[in-house]
Amino acid sequence: MAVVGVLALQGSYNEHMSALRRIGVKGVEVRKPEQLQGLDSLIIPGGESTTMAKLANYHNLFPALREFVGAGKPVWGTCAGLIFLANKAVGQKLGGQELVGGLDCTVHRNFFGSQLQSFETELSVPMLADKEGGSNTCRGVFIRAPAILEVGSDVEILAECPVPSGRPSITIPSAEGVEEEVYSKDRVIVAVRQGSILATAFHPELTSDCRWHRFFLDMDKESHPKAFSALSLSSSSRGSEGGSKTKPFDLPIFE
Ligand SMILES: NC(=O)CC[C@H](N)C(=O)O
């Protein structure tokens, strides 16, 4: 059976573990480098990326995380996890923070503002409906959320979000990195895929819609078909959009 790890240093790892349970998959909490061995895929949750990076450093996790990403094993970063996976981050705290990298993009760490500017919105994600069924949109829960400013040519854009009008204006380094310019587009990228890396600026694990988790597991399945032979992700555990009816929800989620 495929083994899905969830980086459990800080942030919404319990919610990811719970979302995995809802679709009949047992997640494994990861806190030490050696726990990455034997995993087929990994979720890096949201939380606070500077704190998470300090904890990851403390536990000497960065080399092992880079190796995991470099090996082409599926990795999904949500929110702070997206920041971890970006090759470049701007808007960081003084002194910056270490990144795992691997995802060819520039991310703004607090693009949508502070806690007070957190919001929910309906996002258009036709890819999700194509692959996992259900509606063309999903609920996007954005909490002190980052956004992706630029992507490389290998990165597939899965979702964009209109930039909320009340959001404080942010400056971003210009291409040369010297001058600063104000972000002026009316839309911004919030979900991408680059090969085995999936990244979302929002929190699917806080909603009852399990399609992002299923999509991620399907990526895992593509790369390790054998590991999934014993995993019953079809019929019984897939259920309808909104999660399996057979397993009780054990954490509060947004309906
Ligand atoms: N909900 C989140 O994960 C927020 C991430 C936050 N902007 C950060 O740095 O780390």
Mean pLDDT of the chain: 87
For the chain, domains (ranges, CATH) are 4-225 (3.40.50.880)
pLDDT score at 237:
40
Q: DSSP for 41-91, please give it.
A: EEEE--S-HHHHHHHHHHTT-HHHHHHHHHTT--EEEETHHHHHHEEEEES
pLDDT score at 114:
87
Element containing residue 238 per DSSP (H, E)? helix 235-238
First to last CA, the chain: 30
Q: Is the CB of 192 under 6 A from ligand 1?
A: no
41-83 pLDDT tens trace: 999 999 999 999 999 999 999 999 999 999 999 999 999 999 9
Q: Report the distance separating Cα 166 and Cα 136, nearest Å.
A: 26
What pTM did the predictor assign? 0.87
pLDDT score at 41:
97
Mean pLDDT of 77-103: 91
Cα atoms found within 13 Å of the Cα of residue 201, Cβ hemisphere only:
31
105-129 pLDDT tens trace: 999 999 998 888 899 999 999 999 9
- Indicate whether 26 pLDDT > 70: yes
Give the active site residue among 108, 138, 205, 213.
Answer: 205
Q: Which atom of ligand 1 is nearest to the CA of 203?
A: 1
Give the active site residue among 79, 105, 161, 210.
Answer: 79
Q: Which atom of ligand 1 is nearest to the CA of 110?
A: 7
Active site residue 205: yes
Q: Which residues are 28's β-sheet partners?
A: 5
- Indicate whether 240 pLDDT > 60: no
Determine which of 16-25, 66-75, 86-95, 136-145 has the lowest per-residue pLDDT on average: 86-95
Q: Which atom of ligand 1 is nearest to the CA of 49?
A: 10
Contact, 152 vs 105, CB < 8 A?
yes
Q: Report the distance separating Cα 232 and Cα 24, nearest Å.
A: 8
pLDDT score at 223:
72
Q: Report the distance separating Cα 159 and Cα 17, nearest Å.
A: 24
81 CA → ligand 1 middle, Å: 8
pLDDT score at 5:
98
Q: Is the CB of 144 under 6 A from ligand 1?
A: yes
Residue numbers belonging to the annotated binding site for L-glutamine: 47-49, 109, 143-144
148-201 pLDDT tens trace: 999 999 999 999 999 988 776 777 766 666 566 678 888 999 999 999 999 999
For 4, phi then psi, to 5°, come to -105, 120
Q: Report the distance separating Cα 124 and Cα 103, nearest Å.
A: 22
Active site residue 241: no
187-236 pLDDT tens trace: 999 999 999 999 999 999 999 999 999 999 999 777 765 555 444 443 33
Q: Is the CB of 91 under 6 A from ligand 1?
A: no
| Choice from 143, 203, 206 to test ligand 1 binding pocket (greatest atom count within 8 A of CB) | 143
